[in-house]
Amino acid sequence: MGFFRKKSPPPAPVVSDPLTVVPLKPANVEVRTDSQGLIHLKMTPPLKPFKRKVAQWLRYEYSAKVELDEYGSYFYSLVDGEQTLSSIVDAMAQKLGKSRKETVLTVVAFTKSLMTRSLLVLKVPAMTPERGRV
């Protein structure tokens, strides 16, 4: 009777404050700084063996390259695997000279943009029973 029913996916963690997450640099992202101090990111996706062999044979490089501006470079330099988005927002607000509210919107949009390109991942804080959902 329920043999062909698809199982629903487990519920995703709910984070009440998105600024408590910690941004991380993925392992397959190469970070390079140029002479002006701007950061250049190069992401090489993992390829299946056949696709990798064909790419090598054709001398084709599967990678995405992004050049960050002054503020993007400052943001990415603050990503160290320990600072939360909240502390990054505070540092960026001071650097930009804008209100915290404006900076939160800017940092969240930029974080989302980097995540869609697989140049940034987020570590969600652990949820413990006594704390409830974070």
SS3 letters for the chain?
A: CCCCCCCCCCCCCCCCCHHHCEEECCCCEEEEECCCCCEEEEECCCCCHHHHHHHHHHCCCCCEEEECCHHHHHHHHHCCCCCCHHHHHHHHHHHHCCCHHHHHHHHHHHHHHHHHCCCCEEECCCCCCCCCCC
Bridge partners for 39 per DSSP: 33
CA distance 78 to 6: 42
Enter the pTM of the model.
0.74
pLDDT the model gives residue 35: 93
Give the pair of three-digit tokens for residue 14: 């709910």
Bridge partners for 32 per DSSP: 40
Phi first, then psi: give them for residue 115, nearest 5 degrees: -70, -40
CA distance 79 to 119: 12
Architecture, CATH, for domain 18-122 = Orthogonal Bundle (1.10)
pLDDT in tens, the chain (134 residues): 556 777 777 776 677 788 889 999 998 899 999 999 999 999 887 778 887 788 778 887 777 789 999 999 999 999 998 999 999 999 999 988 999 999 999 999 999 999 998 899 998 876 544 444 44
pLDDT the model gives residue 51: 79
